[in-house]
Structure formats: C-alpha cells, structure tokens
Amino acid sequence: MAWMQSREQRRGLRPRDAAVVIGVVWLLSVVLFGVLERIADPHSFPTVWLGMWWALETVTTVGYGDVVPATVAGKIIGSFLLLGGLAFLSVIIAMITGGFVARYQREAILGGDDIYANRINELQADIAEIRELLTAQQQGSGGAPEPSPPG
C-alpha cells in the first residue's frame, strides 16, 4: 500500500498500477489458499495445483463446483477466501475510485473548472452586488432602509 500511495503522489494513480496490485494480491491469495486447502483437506485436494484451481474458481466467484472442500476446516478456509476476497475487492475498488476522483478534482481546480469554487465565486459576486445596491439605497434615502411590511 505504501508503494501505491507514493506512486500516486508522484505521478498519479494509473489503471495499470491498480491492475498490477490487484493481480499480485489475487495471485498470492490463490497460491496461499490453494496450499492451505491442500493441507486442510488432502482427500478432496490431492495436489496443491488442484487446491489453487479451486482457490481461483472461488476468488473469481465462478465456482464451477468440480472441486469443493469436504472437511469443516476446508469449508472454513473457503469461507475466509470468499469473504476476504469480496471485502478486499470492495476496498481496492473504493481506493482506486477515490484516487481517480481526487486526481480529477485536483486537475479541475488547477484548470479553473471546479464547479463548486465557480459557484461560490458567483454567489460572492451576487452578495457584493446586493451590498452595493443596499449601500446606494441607504445613501439615497439619507439613512437606514425602511423595513418592509410583513406578509
């Protein structure tokens, strides 16, 4: 994550960088959970490669069903992989989206295209114009403006 933050600060977060991070994390997850599943359920997963195939199916939510954990420990590991994968993917997508939004906002502000700043400037100009009109009215009538009738 520190690498990603420093890279974003230097030249902005790019989709390629995000894809590399996601790919590496998912690859490590597939290997780790494939090995864990082989250890926890050797009958259903006679090889580590079959465990990694199952982890890949699970993490991508494809779930062909050709290989499934049979032991309680295997199902617990599978549950962590499913929930962790969904949570991690959500966080990564939010982080990447936030990076792109922040980058767009910085560029918009620097380019003078910030709609909020522009609207605030317009409102400030309107307030200044209203003040001038009130000042002119007060000076023309010789004092404070008369209160308008209620209603």
What CA–CA distance (Å, rounded) separates 44 from 74?
A: 9
Q: Distances from the Cα of 111 to the Cαs of 38, 99, 102, 114, in angstroms?
A: 55, 18, 14, 8
For residue 42, give Cα distances in angstroms to 33, 45, 102, 151: 13, 5, 47, 84
User: Contact 34/52 with Cβ under 8 angstroms?
Assistant: yes
Q: Tell me the whole-structure pTM to 2 decimals.
A: 0.52
**CATH code of the domain made up of 2-113:** 1.10.287.70
Could you state, in order of their start, the residue ranges of all structural domains in the chain?
2-113
Low-confidence ranges of the chain (pLDDT < 50): none
